Amino acid sequence: MPVQTQPATTTKAALYTGYTLTTLFALFMLMDAGMKFTHAAPVIEANNQLGFPIHLVPAIGVLALVCLAVYLIPATSVLGAVLFTGYLGGAIALHLRVDNPLFSHTLFPIYIALFLWGGLWPRDANLRELFPVTHPPAQLPSLKKTLWTGYALTALGALLVLFSAVMKFIYVPPAGSPPPSFPLHHFHHIAYIEIACTILYLIPRTSFSGAVLLAGYLGGATCINLRDGQSLGSSLIPAFIAVILWAGLWLRDLRLHRLLPLRS
């Protein structure tokens, strides 16, 4: 089934609003990324408080600049927004780990994400069709093999996330072991988030929103792994799960081909 290009239905007011939000987001991220290449006292103090290795901070700055470049290129803007969602999820996880204030610190990356997605949503009719709630039915691929591969990857990714949630409910620290790096009293909260995001991902009308939320969550898990000094391969396991989830969605709904990874 070919992907048909739909006529643009975006007003000038929506375009200007989107470009304004995108510009504000880009300026903030440029400032944030630039600070990660400095040795300013606030940067060092913040990283010491969050417990993130200082030698990884410049790499995070490079990652932010790469994501920003992908986001600002029109053909890859949605892909950049998805990558940035994972990046901001990492910031949320670091603040949650040290029990920083909820509204001023832990949720601050979500405020930034509103500018991130708010800059795209008003000026992209294809994105509005899918996010936050999908209205028309999915455009299925013509090849059954492609469709069933998408379903298989969707099921695999969802099962991995749900397995992680179950493990958080039954986890008991071994006697005499050091406390886990992430606060134990948050384990059940995180498990509920995993279950809720997976349910949204599996419901056809909210599958794209669920995938976006899972991207942020798995970005947070990747960040915590890096913070704990795990190997790069182990740290990136959540990112691989995110790839599986998005690949499953992309294969079974042709509308995502207009958004990810390249658009004309």
**Does residue 249 belong to any structural domain of this protein?**
yes
Percent of the chain with pLDDT over 90: 77
**Does residue 1 belong to any structural domain of this protein?**
no
Number of domains within the chain: 1
Q: Contact, 5 vs 258, CB < 8 A?
A: yes
Residue 8 has a pLDDT of 52
**Does residue 163 belong to any structural domain of this protein?**
yes
Q: Give the Å distances, CA to CA, from 17 to 28, 31, 110, 112, 122.
A: 17, 22, 19, 16, 7
Q: Contact, 194 vs 210, CB < 8 A?
A: no
The model's pLDDT over 178-221, given as tens digits with 9 standing for 90+, comes to 777 788 889 999 999 999 999 999 999 999 999 999 999 999 99
Domain that holds residue 236: 12-173+181-258
Please tell me which residue, 181 or 147, carries the higher pLDDT value.
147
Across all residues in the chain, what is the average pLDDT? 92
**Does residue 120 belong to any structural domain of this protein?**
yes
**Does residue 3 belong to any structural domain of this protein?**
no
Band of pLDDT at residue 5, cut at 50, 70 and 90: very low
Q: Contact, 92 vs 220, CB < 8 A?
A: yes
pTM: 0.93
Residue 231 has a pLDDT of 93
